A and B are shown apart, each in its own frame.
Chain A
Amino acid sequence: MRFLPQLLCLRTACVTLICLSVVSSAFSQAPEKSKLPPDHAERMAKGLVMFEQNIAGVLKQHCVKCHGGEKTRADLDLATREGLLKGGESGPAVVPFHADESLIYKLVAHLDEPKMPSEADKLPDDVITKIKLWIDHGAPYDKPLIAGKKPPRDGSVVSATDRQWWAFQPLAKVAPPANIAVPAGGNDVDRFILAKAAEKGLTLPKIADHRQRLRRAAFDLHGLPPTPEELAKFQTDASPEAWATVVDRLLDNPRYGERWARHWLDVARFAESHGFEHDYDRPGAWAFRDFVIKALNADMPFRQFTHWQLAGDELAPNDPLALSATGFLGAGVFPTQITANEVERTRYDALDDMLSTTSSAFLGLTVGCARCHDHKYDPIPTRDYYRMLSTFTTTVRSNVDVELDPEKARAERQAWEVALAPLKESVTQYEADLQSKFNTWAKAGGEFTAEATWTVLELTDLKSQAGAKFTRQDDGSYLATGTNGNHDTYTATATTKLRRLTGLRLEALADPSMPQKGPGRAPNGNFGLSRITVRAGQAGGEIKPVNLTKPQVTFEQNNSSLSIAASLDDNPSSGWAVDPQFGKDHAAAFTFAEPIDFAEGTQLNITLEFQVNGQHNIGRPRLAVISDVEPNLKADTLPMAVAELLQKLKANTALTDTERNTLFDWWKRRDADWRARQAKVDEHLAKSPKGTTSILICGEGYKPMRHHSQGADFFEQTFILDRGNTDRKRDVASQSFLQVLMPAGGNEQPWKVAPPDGSRFSGRRSGLANWITDVDHGAGALAARVIVNRLWQHHFGTGLVSTPNDFGQTGAKPSHPELLDWLAGELIRHDWQLKPIHRLLMASATYQQASAASDEDASDEAVALFVHRRPQRLEGEALRDSLLAISGKLDPAMYGPGTKEERSLRRSIYFTMKRSQLIGSMVVFDQPEPLISQGSRPVTTVAPQALLLMNGPQVREWAEAFARRTEAEANSPTDFAPTVQRLFATSLNRPPSNVELTEATAFLEHESASYVRDGNNAPRTMALADLCQVIFALNEFAYID
């Protein structure tokens, strides 16, 4: 951490005054006035003597080491009187003139906890008495206890001095230095760079050659190597616009958006799962990633880019892209299992995540630090934090269905319908053919082989203990509505005349009315059947428990605590559950230990208990029994109605047309050919294009995403909290912004937006976005500086401000403040479009400079001033994408759901960011964990990276593909040299040196001889693959000049 001497200097003037006039400063403390005794002046004078004679020594010996010296425990700094009065975590340390009310006295006198001094003996009584007297005399200081120590800043107010910090200034109206000429092949950017360099006697190196420049630009803008053909084109383009043409071509290619979106995703702590114990997926969260790619490729003005991410649902509620943009706010972690005690704190955590990320990303400020106390370094009072936090009070994650690409959807629908028609026709025709066969069968009495079938039970009674209502459905199931009890119990009663009952089947059927379509009523669609019990007896007679055995199940959540077997034990917290197989029908079957057989009919009482988890009740149960045979879960189901019709046929009773149709409908399904035809229809129906896509958004007024929470999703108000503690609420926070970035007096009204009557949102986020991008009166100048600095950073390796997420006092100061302001101004003049800034930066001689051949004669200073360029290591994504590209395997498919499969051939940005299953090959190359906003990545060099390149199964596959591709291109079956030359051209855009060619050829001979000895049937290809792997691992491949 750096303390910036410049700032301390600025403050020295007022600080010194305070220190010198001890007595008068004591009088000026407003809170003291009410308790000021009439003889305070005389007392203070006496107190000062006490301080000089005794107290200063006591405090120095026993207290200051931990409170202001080596440490500042409990946030208490006693080195100055101001620090003493300000106090620490437990409030002011003294109340002047009132020792009995003063914390410091109570603690040293051991009247209160924690006893002080900590981990040492109690002070002698006479010393304690002296401290008491000194406090009663106003507790004055003559000078700080540590020489030169400044009083702590009062973080609760924003002073004029605070506003002087460079980052809070309006953009300086700067022009490129007049005395510096534009260097050959460069532009105005260089004039700033050269001016600073000249001060140190440095200048820019020459412009790099074609190869170095093209590779630099291609990796920068696309994260992919240029092809040999692209290099040849550039080398032969003699026009003065050749370089600009290259840059334009790269910027116009959609690979640009894919490359630069990744930088923003780091800043946005983007991921597609909630984190914490379940780390559930967030369906449709990828829409945010696609928004970023599309916005960058379309060169969406950064102003709009900002507005949509904060308030796309307010500003363009009908534009799917604007809705997708709000995924920014919702990308943070969130616990999905929340106990009652944690509900409120968790919500404040979620709000903090939104605010902290917004501030880091757009303003380069660590606003989150002011959650528990006024910001220690930057002028961000806790009050500002909570007022700004209240922007998000009612903002929550939701899934909404949108039409991402209406035209494409319409075309898909049409194609699907065209393909469906003949399939349906085939079924209809076949059914006509079947009619006569059916009639013959019916006339013959409808003989029906009594194979194993389940018969659905008609319930005479079904009760929910918690009061849910059941409605019988046509298929004999019962749909639960109304109350969804916390731990419900259902009791069902049925009678049947069937004999020799061997088993029971319980189905939990899906239904559109349930969350996630069920089959459970829990917010995620799950249920938890802790116990199923069956009692049976002769109808009207004694009912006895039935022993259930041999459970069978379509799906169970695990094979232990959430298995079907667990629904038979006594443990209420274990039972049958089906996460994540939601929206599907599930079934379980049990075999009765002894068949149940009553000639007069059997009464069955079935109890279903749902104790596993709150509200985890089955939403649409159906019960069935089976006779005679060993129960088989997969056996057919005979509906009651069909059973009755079959009996009619047997008794030669004529059927009505409706009855006949009902029976035919059942009968035809028993025909294998019919089933085969219908299966094709069903298969096609299942692929029905919805036209809409469910995406994750973060907004207001949509249905909040529900979790296993014992409380509310959000609260209507945000409070100012004392030390961030939800048990210590102060005032309700009304929305405002950072005072230091508002005109003095702090009126937030100009930016606020009143939503139209009846609108679903509050307008607060639009207000925030307005303030952030208001260059004249709000935070716009800072926001513009922050984003142009990010562009600079990713082109030059380091930002002009080397701490891209921290423009405050603990961050670095800009190396070229005028250049930064000039670039920010250029951004605004270009309507906040980013591509003009890319062009500007890349057209500079500074960007195009030749990379140094060694560090030997270059100082760190030259690097810091951007007149000496060191090679930059490719990020994991760019490295992997480049391997795929040169091996010819890269799948260019853009957008849509990603994948967790390492074997994927798409660009790395399409890996699904699941927090508990991050992609190993990305993490090992420093991809940050998506937890908080990351402005820059560390670059580490560790053995697991080497292991990945040596042994990774995908790397080997791509090496083999690269070998085959190059063999085909070089077409030189006997001589290795042309193939090696082509390998170098494709991967490094240069021919091998003579030494390299000789060594590579010798290596290939060695490897192929070795493969021949092993009996390999493609020894040359395999040897080449070995060489390709070496190329993949080259420093020259991973470090771009």
Chain B
Amino acid sequence: MSPSLWSRREWLQRAGGGCGYLALASMLAQEQRASAAAESLNPLAPKEPHFPAKAKSVIWIFMNGGPSHVDTWDYRPELVKRDGQTLADFDNKTGFFPDAVGGLMKSPFEWKQHGESGTWAPDLFPHLSQHVDKMAFIHSCYTNSNNHSPALFMMNTGVTRMGNPCVGSWVNYGLGSVSDSLPSFVVMSDPLNRGLPKGNALNWGAGFLPSIYQGTWMKPQGEPIDNLKPPAALNTDRQRAQLDLLATFNKQHLQHSAAESELAARIESFELAFRMQAAAPEALDITREPDNIQKLYGIDQKHCTHFAAQCLRARRLVERGVRFVQIYSGGMDNQQSWDCHADLVGNHRGFALEADQPIAALLGDLKQQGLLDSTLVIWAGEFGRLPVAQKGAKPGRDHNPHAFTVWMAGGGMKGGTHYGETDDIGMRAAVNKVSVRDFHATILAALGLDHERLIFPFQGLDQRLTGVEQASVVKEVFA
């Protein structure tokens, strides 16, 4: 920062003019002041991507618990043929329950081809299957842990240990925020009291990045964001008078103090906060949507009203410039998420019923509003499931780190693409394997960020989301 570039008077004029951070930052840019100065003032100031790209924001629907790829998007007819057979050379430690390994198990769902792409989908997804031509599938993902929280950390931060910055934090660090009155990275967890994803808030933590880049978790109950409502004693008039007096005092103080730029930024932050009080509740208020849109998402359907509200809020947030939204489908404990150790049929039918219509509506709505091109929608969990059964009265499937499917839609993706393959039974990624690092590099690329250039110096290293090992962008999924 080079405060000497700015006279105190100039700062006073700018800070006093009631212009927002954004205006402040863009003025700086216009006058070709060092962008470092703007950044140090507002670390969330919007930044140019490394290269032009379509996606401006991301909605990541996190299929928490690890949905079964062979029962959702990875059609493996060989499993039908070999149903019930023992899988030779199977390592019992692959999943979580070494004592409950059964034989191969075919998908219990009815599969059909859909769309021009002829994509196979199970009857779990009557709505989503109508949008398969918008989705680019990667069938050959694999990860580094067979256990939920390390695998969740891997998927969110690229490392199985806890404490690294997540994708959303990196994206915010790289691109800043377009909205000057909403949090730039919003996370929604299960609103039905089924808990947070395993690993809790560290899944949207900023790790070693400054904490402003962490996700803002919207509380599923009560006020979604802390301190957004004035205390009962105050009304808008009285609070406005407070802020006016505060600005007056602060500006007088600024006249005889050093650290002027920091102090001016802090003066601005109170004005921004005042705007947020009005903007955030408006953005989250889905009753402002027309009836037909609410119906489209399934707000009126008891089985999916909660998830519909979250998807609709995601669209409203993205529309208002929020950079990154993550929605978790399902909660914490076994069976309370897509973690189908027992009763695969009941578990997956239940969660598909919650998620199918709202996500499909989101894709359709984004498309219709002209937002799909600039919004990358991601459907991904932390790992896949084994092709063998987990024994029980109603069989389930255990964790499988070696193979899972993700899809992405909008944001420059080539709809209807199928990249990579698992082996015949879906046990392992086999063709064009895609590591979690590759997947992260691909998400960043969709936003115009080069994963090798998005760096943060920390502990003597240029830290990256994709770490030190090789990662490659999956170019084939881009249009």
Contacts of B198 in A (CB 8 A): 276-277
Distance, CA A270 to CA B246, complexed state (A)? 36
Query: Given A855-B3, A1022-B233, A1030-B242 in contact, is the A929-B163 Cβ separation under 8 Å?
Result: yes
Contacts of B249 in A (CB 8 A): 996, 999, 1030, 1034, 1036
Distance, CA A810 to CA B246, complexed state (A)? 42
Interface string of B187-211 (1 = CB under 8 A from A): 0000001101011111001111011
Distance, CA A881 to CA B242, complexed state (A)? 22
B323 at the interface (CB under 8 A from A): no
Once the chains bind, are A806 and B460 in contact (CB under 8 Å)? Answer: yes
Output the nearest chain B residue to A942 by Cβ-Cβ distance: B212
Query: Given A855-B4, A940-B212, A1034-B249 in contact, is the A570-B207 Cβ separation under 8 Å?
Result: no
Distance, CA A1010 to CA B2, complexed state (A)? 44
Distance, CA A788 to CA B115, complexed state (A)? 68
Output the nearest chain A residue to B260 by Cβ-Cβ distance: A855
Once the chains bind, are A923 and B211 in contact (CB under 8 Å)? Answer: yes
Distance, CA A1006 to CA B193, complexed state (A)? 45
Distance, CA A856 to CA B269, complexed state (A)? 23
Once the chains bind, are A561 and B269 in contact (CB under 8 Å)? Answer: no
Contacts of B145 in A (CB 8 A): 342
Contacts of A1000 in B (CB 8 A): 245
User: How far apart are B88's CB and chain A's nearest CB, in angstroms?
Assistant: 20
User: How far apart are B257's CB and chain A's nearest CB, in angstroms?
Assistant: 6
User: How far apart are A366's CB and chain B's nearest CB, in angstroms?
Assistant: 4
Interface string of A827-856 (1 = CB under 8 A from B): 000000000000000000000000111111
Output the nearest chain B residue to A939 by Cβ-Cβ distance: B262
Distance, CA A852 to CA B211, complexed state (A)? 30
Distance, CA A559 to CA B335, complexed state (A)? 13
Output the nearest chain A residue to B194 by Cβ-Cβ distance: A560
A426 at the interface (CB under 8 A from B): no
Once the chains bind, are A275 and B7 in contact (CB under 8 Å)? Answer: no
Once the chains bind, are B231 and A1041 in contact (CB under 8 Å)? Answer: no
Once the chains bind, are B93 and A950 in contact (CB under 8 Å)? Answer: no
Total count of chain B residues near the partner, CB < 8 A: 103
Query: Given A1000-B245, A1035-B267 in contact, is the A570-B392 Cβ separation under 8 Å?
Result: yes
Task: Give residues of chain A (226-260) contacting chain B, Cβ–Cβ below 8 Å.
Answer: none
- Tally of A-B residue pairs with Cβ under 8 A? 285
User: How far apart are A580's CB and chain B's nearest CB, in angstroms?
Assistant: 14
Once the chains bind, are B257 and A486 in contact (CB under 8 Å)? Answer: no
User: How far apart are B134's CB and chain A's nearest CB, in angstroms?
Assistant: 27
Q: How large is the interface on A (under 10, 10 to 19, 20 to 34, 35 or more residues)?
A: 35 or more
Contacts of B278 in A (CB 8 A): none
Output the nearest chain B residue to A860 by Cβ-Cβ distance: B2
A407 at the interface (CB under 8 A from B): no
Interface string of A851-886 (1 = CB under 8 A from B): 111111011100000001111010000000000000
Query: Given A277-B149, A342-B145, A950-B227 in contact, is the A574-B242 Cβ separation under 8 Å?
Result: no
User: How far apart are B136's CB and chain A's nearest CB, in angstroms?
Assistant: 19
Contacts of A950 in B (CB 8 A): 227, 230, 239, 242-243, 270, 273-274
Once the chains bind, are A73 and B470 in contact (CB under 8 Å)? Answer: yes
Once the chains bind, are B252 and A995 in contact (CB under 8 Å)? Answer: yes
Contacts of B148 in A (CB 8 A): 277, 337
Distance, CA A946 to CA B273, complexed state (A)? 6
Query: Given A337-B149, A946-B270, A1033-B270 in contact, is the A1007-B459 Cβ separation under 8 Å?
Result: no
B96 at the interface (CB under 8 A from A): yes
B35 at the interface (CB under 8 A from A): no
User: How far apart are A165's CB and chain B's nearest CB, in angstroms?
Assistant: 13
Contacts of B98 in A (CB 8 A): 340
User: How far apart are A868's CB and chain B's nearest CB, in angstroms?
Assistant: 7
B43 at the interface (CB under 8 A from A): yes
Once the chains bind, are B269 and A1029 in contact (CB under 8 Å)? Answer: no
Contacts of A279 in B (CB 8 A): 200
Distance, CA A1035 to CA B250, complexed state (A)? 6
Distance, CA A916 to CA B28, complexed state (A)? 38
Output the nearest chain B residue to A562 by Cβ-Cβ distance: B333
Once the chains bind, are A573 and B342 in contact (CB under 8 Å)? Answer: yes
Which of B99, B146, B226, B277 has the most CB atoms of chain A within a 10 A radius of its CB?
B226
A951 at the interface (CB under 8 A from B): yes
B366 at the interface (CB under 8 A from A): no
Contacts of A809 in B (CB 8 A): 460
Query: Given A573-B335, A855-B4, A947-B277 in contact, is the A276-B199 Cβ separation under 8 Å?
Result: yes
A944 at the interface (CB under 8 A from B): yes
Output the nearest chain B residue to A857 by Cβ-Cβ distance: B4
Interface string of B373-411 (1 = CB under 8 A from A): 000000000000000000011101000000000000000
Task: Give residues of chain A (96-145) contacting chain B, Cβ–Cβ below 8 Å.
Answer: 118-119
Once the chains bind, are B7 and A856 in contact (CB under 8 Å)? Answer: yes
User: How far apart are A153's CB and chain B's nearest CB, in angstroms?
Assistant: 14
Distance, CA A562 to CA B194, complexed state (A)? 12
B228 at the interface (CB under 8 A from A): yes
Contacts of A368 in B (CB 8 A): 459
B291 at the interface (CB under 8 A from A): no
A938 at the interface (CB under 8 A from B): yes
Contacts of A677 in B (CB 8 A): none
User: How far apart are A655's CB and chain B's nearest CB, in angstroms?
Assistant: 52
Once the chains bind, are B394 and A570 in contact (CB under 8 Å)? Answer: yes
Distance, CA A571 to CA B339, complexed state (A)? 13
User: How far apart are B42's CB and chain A's nearest CB, in angstroms?
Assistant: 8
30 A-B contacts, Cβ less than 8 Å apart?
A275-B162, A335-B150, A366-B460, A366-B461, A369-B460, A573-B396, A574-B334, A810-B461, A854-B257, A854-B258, A856-B4, A916-B202, A924-B211, A929-B206, A931-B162, A942-B269, A944-B226, A951-B231, A956-B231, A956-B233, A956-B234, A960-B233, A999-B248, A1003-B245, A1007-B238, A1033-B270, A1034-B246, A1035-B263, A1036-B250, A1036-B257
Known contacts A858-B258, A947-B226; 5 additional CB pairs below 8 A are: A560-B336, A932-B163, A943-B269, A1000-B245, A1035-B253
Residues on A lying within 8 angstroms of B by beta carbon are 1, 71, 73-75, 89, 118-119, 275-277, 279, 333, 335, 337-342, 349, 360, 366, 368-369, 372, 376-378, 486-487, 558-562, 570-574, 805-806, 808-811, 851-856, 858-860, 868-871, 873, 915-916, 918, 920, 923-924, 926-929, 931-932, 938-948, 950-953, 956, 960, 993, 995-996, 999-1000, 1003, 1006-1007, 1010-1011, 1014, 1022, 1025-1027, 1029-1030, 1033-1036, 1038-1039, 1041
Residues on B lying within 8 angstroms of A by beta carbon are 2-4, 7-8, 41-44, 93, 96-100, 145-150, 161-163, 183, 193-194, 196, 198-202, 205-208, 210-212, 226-231, 233-235, 237-239, 241-243, 245-246, 248-250, 252-254, 256-263, 265-267, 269-270, 272-274, 276-277, 332-336, 341-343, 392-394, 396, 452, 457, 459-462, 468-470, 472
